[in-house]
Structure 1
Amino acid sequence: MSRIGIIGAGAVGLLLASYLAEHHQITLYTRQLDDGTKRILRDGQSSPTVKVRPIAHFESQDLVFVTTKSYDIKSVIPYLEHEKNPVVFLQNGMGHLDAAHALPQAIFGVVEHGAMKTGPYEIRHTGKGRIRYGNHLLSMLKRDALQFEHVTNIEAVMVTKLFMNAVINPLTAYYRVENGRLLEEPYASKARAVFAEVQSVFPNHPITYDEIEQILQRTRLNRSSMLRDVEQGRMTEIDPIVGYVLKQATQPTPLLTYYFQQIKHREQEGDSL
């Protein structure tokens, strides 16, 4: 049994905590002042107890997962500067890479599960997939329900996820539609056009639009995380996703630029789209 810390009590953090608590000692670190033990309700089933601590009380762990939004990474790094054990970052997009690389023990991963937070310590596991990570093999992570998988080229996996996020998230957030609507007109042609712009930025990456359509089919009833953020007036991850793509671009990307600016404008206004 390992001591595992999870920073962030959003959907991904609660999903990890609920499963990993079955085999490990879990401490969930949050910005709240909670300091005690909780059980996480996942799909109506109660997990073993997990410790809940304010992030200001962070203590060294055998392994740490950072599951906060990308824009919170810089505020988390100071708590981890003296952590000698592996720290796994599980964020959408790639805008967090530079900040996380400040930690020599940083490991990057991609979550391919669907999860929805339904209460302070309640979670729905809406779609089962894998969690792929790179760098060092972490022997305490077994291929159980979360399907941890070590890969040799995590950057390629992250770029593939970036394509999917850059197409699905801004379009569903802007038009306020479920994922599956992007398979239908008038949204399907817009999604293909956005994909083409992302492909112009990463022309050598081996991904086809058929793969995007497969994801849309598999998650057709899902409301993307960016759509949910917009609906609830929260800050989105448009910067680490679309913003990252725009920074890499060497030629015009008018559609991506338009959706980026529109969602940023709504963020600043504090209004939902």
Structure 2
Amino acid sequence: MNQRNAAPHIHLIGQGVISSLIATHALLAQRPFTQYVRTQRTAPTMYWLSGENYALPTATVLNHAVAGTKRMSGIIIIPTKAYQVANVLTDLQNLIADDAVLVLLHNGLGTHETAQALFPKHTIYAATTSMAGYAFTTTTDTLTCIQHTAWGQTQIGNIQNARSANDSTQDNTLSYLSTIIPELHHKTSILEALYTKLAVNAVINPLTAIHNIKNGRLADSEYMMTMQAITQEIVMLAKHKNLSLSYTQIWNIVLGIVHATGDNYSSMHQDITHGRRTEVDFINGFVVREAQKIGLNVPENEKLLKHIHILEERL
């Protein structure tokens, strides 16, 4: 994949916030890209953080993505909800070329094994990002708009190499991705970054959803002990996975995110508010399942998982 000689096509599954943020970066960088949806819809208008507005191209319906024997080649980025990933990967099985590269970009953990099982010969990356935005509709119509709210950093690492891949191929892929994803940082141990993000999500998302509060309220003393216990459980799990995570470091990151996003509502809070399924099974649920495998007690994560499930049943 040589950036100078041939620009690989970027395939973005879904047209949600993260997909559309990356699509806008690709648009501005003049990189070829396509977004894919299950049903046809009007493309969103992007309200960029710097003040400009951009209209994204109409997305392609995934079932119609490939005509004849031609398959999707290039870089396929999957920035969907975690619970959608397995279905997306199944849909892609007969649609992508042997040289395609997969990038999983979502909250939570538990999908990597599915990707590796379905695509054992492909290069697969996992990534986590702090770039952000939110979807809304204007008061004058029902067209979807997306407000960009943070540039953020994205951490990415390899979880599976294609048999034909080499260091040069990986360097070219990451170099090209850095032209459409700002502040892209390669991690040789991506699992440490993913577990760090898991801790942040496992603390902030369910507590703000359960108590119906903005992120910043978690800085109140009444939530401190619960937050610390959730964090400690995830650090213990990470240590059982031979990951070098420091409780103090993770706790400081959690508190930093609470303060930095103090005026925001978490994604899980918004899912519950708008009657949508949450990603709790891939956040606190992942912690509970992995802990059960090794006989580790994680009572705080179990409580949060059960509580969110109760809220979901009421939707």
Tell me whether the two structures share a fold, i.e. TM-score over 0.5. yes
Query: Once the 2 structures are TM-superposed, how far is the Cα of residue 79 of structure 1 from its aligned partner?
Result: 3.0
What letter matches 1:158 in structure 2? L
Q: Comparing 257-266 with 79-88, which one deviates more in the overlay?
A: 79-88
Change (3 A) 1:124 1:49: closer
1:27 positional shift:
1.0
Give the letter aligned to residue 258 of structure 1: K
Q: Matched residues in 2 for 1:163 and 1:197: separation?
A: 9
Match of 1:98 in 2: 113
What is the CA distance between 1:143 and its match in structure 2? 5.5
Deviation (angstroms), 1:96? 1.4
Task: Tell me what 1:182 maps to.
Answer: 218
- Is 1:42 equivalent to 2:47 in the alignment? yes
Q: How does 1:209-224 map to 2 (within 5 A)?
A: 209-224=251-266
Distance 1:97 1:184, change over 3 A: same
Write the deviation string for residues 205-253 of structure 1: whole angstroms up to 9, x where unpaired. Answer: 2342122111111111111111100111100000001111011212322
Deviations 1:50-84 (A, max 9, x none): 34111212341421111111111111113322423
User: Contact (CA 8 Å) 1:21, 1:48: kept in 2 or not?
Assistant: no
Please report how far the alpha carbon of residue 114 of structure 1 lies from its aligned counterpart in structure 2 after TM superposition: 2.1
The structure having more radius of gyration, on CA atoms, is 2
Match for residue 109 of structure 1 among 98, 122, 127: 127
Deviation at 1:148, TM superposition (A): 1.9
**Residue of structure 1 in register with 2:231 after alignment:** 195
Distance 1:117 1:61, change over 3 A: farther
Q: How does 1:222-241 map to 2 (within 5 A)?
A: 222-241=264-283
- 2:303 maps to 1:258: yes
The separation in 2 between residues aligned to 1:30 and 1:243, in whole angstroms, is: 27
Confirm or deny: 8 A CA contact 1:17 1:50 kept in the other structure.
Answer: no
**Identity fraction in percent:** 27
Is residue 89 of structure 2 the alignment partner of residue 77 of structure 1?
yes
- The separation in 2 between residues aligned to 1:161 and 1:148, in whole angstroms, is 16
Counterpart secondary structure, 1:29: strand
| CA gap 1:183/1:143 in 2 versus in 1, 3 angstroms | farther
CA distance in 2, matches of 1:194, 1:38: 39
SS at structure 1 position matched to 2:258:
helix
Deviation at 1:38, TM superposition (A): 4.3
Distance 1:164 1:110 in 2: 12
- Which residue pairs with 2:103 in the alignment? 88
CA RMSD of aligned residues (A): 2.0
Q: Is the 8 A contact 2:40 2:60 kept in 1?
A: yes
In structure 2, what residue type is equivalent to 1:21? L
- The number of aligned residues is 268
1:56 aligned residue: 63
Q: Deviations over 1:136-190 (max 9, x none)?
A: 3423122567222222111111111111111111111111111111111212222
Larger displacement relative to structure 2 (198-207 or 19-28):
198-207
Q: Partners in 2 of 1:188 and 1:73 — Cα distance?
A: 33
Structure 2 residue ranges without an equivalent (≥5) = 1-6, 67-71, 138-142, 159-169
Distance verdict in 2 for CA 1:57–1:164, change over 3 Å: same
Alignment of 1:153-192 (within 5 A): 153-192=189-228
